[in-house]
Amino acid sequence: MVKLETIVREERVAEVVAALEQCGYPGVTMYPVEGRGSQKGLVEQFRGRKYEIPFLPKIKLEVVIRDEDYERVVEAIIAAARTGEIGDGKIFACPIADVVRIRTGERKEAAL
């Protein structure tokens, strides 16, 4: 099993969640986050003087998937989240040792 931590644009969240559902993963956790990548934040101005906003608001989506679905899901997320401009976000993947469904006590892939 793999956990995908996906950082996306706020305005793309609905598309990414729909794509995950299409891939068979309706369950997802989201966090409003702030961060920056190579674009290094934003420049705004107030009464004629510019200032930097060091972090930009983004949404982090967490979903745990089966190993065999990995390429398919990653492709689906890319298709849903991509605009081609700087700031589209990143996907971080890491292995998951176990999953427990608290209601039934099911383990591993059965609990997904």
Partner 1 sequence: MRHILLLLLLIVVLSGNLAHASDPKGTETLNTQPEFPVDYVWVLVCGFLVFFMQAGFAMVEAGFCRSKNTTNLLSKNLIDFVVASLVFFAVGYGFLKGKDIGGFIGSGHWFLLGESYDVGIYLDFFWQLVFCGTAATIVSGAVAERLKFSAYLVYTLFVSLFIYPVYAHWVWGGGWLSRLPFGVGHVDFAGSGVVHAVGGLVGLAGAMVLGPRFGKYGKDGKPRAIPGHNLALAALGTFILWFGWFGFNPGSTFSAHHLRIAMVAVNTNLAAASGALTTLLLIYAKTHKWDLGMTLNGTLGGLVAVTAPCAWIEAWAAVVIGAVAGLLVVGGVEFLESRGIDDPVGAVSVHGINGLWGLLSVGLFADGTYGLYSLEPPYVTGLLYGGGAGQLLAQLVGIGTVAAWGFGLGYVLFKVMDLSFGIRVLPEEELRGLDLYEHGTPAYPEFTTHRMFVGS
In the complex, the residues that contact partner 1 under the rule CB under 8 A are 44-51, 54-55
Q: How far is the CB of 56 from partner 1 (least distance, A)?
A: 12
Beta bridge partners of 6: 61, 91
- Can you state the angle between helices 70-81 and 13-22, rounded to 10 degrees? 150
Which residue, 47 or 103, is less far from partner 1 as judged by CB? 47
Q: How far is the CB of 39 from partner 1 (least distance, A)?
A: 17
Q: How far is the CB of 51 from partner 1 (least distance, A)?
A: 4
Which residue, 46 or 95, is less far from partner 1 as judged by CB? 46
Which residue, 24 or 54, is less far from partner 1 as judged by CB? 54
